Amino acid sequence: QLLCVSSTFGKLPEERARSPRPDTSSGPSISVSPSLQPATAGSLGLDLAASVETTLATTRPAKIPTGVNGPIVINGQGYGGLVLGRSSASIMGLFVLPGVIDADYTGEIHVMAYTMYPPIVIGAGQRIAQFIPLPQLTSSITPRESCERGKKGFGSSGVALLTMDLSQRPKQKVTITYQGQSINVEALLDTGADASIISPRVWPRRWPTRQSTDLVTGVGGCTLALKTPRVIVTIDGKNITVGLSVIELPVGVSCLIGRDILAQLGVVL
């Protein structure tokens, strides 16, 4: 049996009724979509609605788009906050997983939700969650990464979820930085390699290398590799400090990213 969320999904009419209040021209003004509004004058949250019809056919969580982009601007100040469920949604069998929206997030806000009673249809425009704006009390603390979050979300600062077409060789653009100078290369991701390798064809001649006793073993046998000083490898917006092996690679491969870097990124395949 297909369960459709009622068009009356939300608070009771008497709860939505607004009592007269004085002029609010000097109070907070929210410069976002008109659909992002508090339900009543005393509401702490801003209602979030599904922007498209979504069917939850299983009990697995799903991302439901809202059509609202961050940050939420109130009186010229961008706010992050919490995405929480609504009691009216929960009683209908739709459960929202709490989420954090950062103040520097500029992508579309999605609601993570699931049901224990599939299938359930959520109509476009149905209010399913609420956004609770919060001040950023961590703004005076030096961040671990210098780049802003931008449109990256859903685990982008935790486990690395690299998206790539596995019908082709798994490659990723990386930046290698040494003493303030950088080069950009396209690297082959190889979970079978213990150490990361760069070809001498792309390693700048002005950057130093040193002799090493490290052996690189491949199909063709063992090779004694040169070693680079510790460099910063930036991949998918994350920085890893590591020493690379310098050895000739096959034609078309400039750099090989092995488990020494992938493990630090927390890559999950």
**Cis omega before residue 119 (within 30°)?**
yes
Q: What is the largest CA-CA distance in the chain?
A: 82
Task: Indicate if the pLDDT at residue 250 is higher than 90.
Answer: no
Task: Indicate if the pLDDT at residue 136 is higher than 60.
Answer: yes
Question: Which position among 47, 102, 190, 260 bears the catalytic label?
Answer: 190
Residue with tokens 């100040």: 77
| Whether the Cβ atoms of residue 68 and residue 33 lie closer than 8 Å to each other | yes
**For 31-134, which CATH superfamily applies?**
Deoxyuridine triphosphatase (dUTPase) (2.70.40.10)
pLDDT tier, 24 (very low <50, low <70, confident <90, very high otherwise): very low
pLDDT tier, 243 (very low <50, low <70, confident <90, very high otherwise): very high
Task: Indicate if the pLDDT at residue 233 is higher than 90.
Answer: yes
Which architecture characterizes domain 171-265 according to CATH? Beta Barrel (2.40)
The whole-angstrom separation of Cα 151 and Cα 110 is 12
Domain(s) of CATH 2.40.70.10: residues in the chain? 171-265
- What is the tens place of the pLDDT at every residue in 169-190? 678 899 999 999 999 999 998 8
Eight-class DSSP state of 18: P
pLDDT of residue 168: 56
The yes-or-no answer on residue 190 being catalytic is yes
Domain(s) of CATH 2.70.40.10: residues in the chain? 31-134
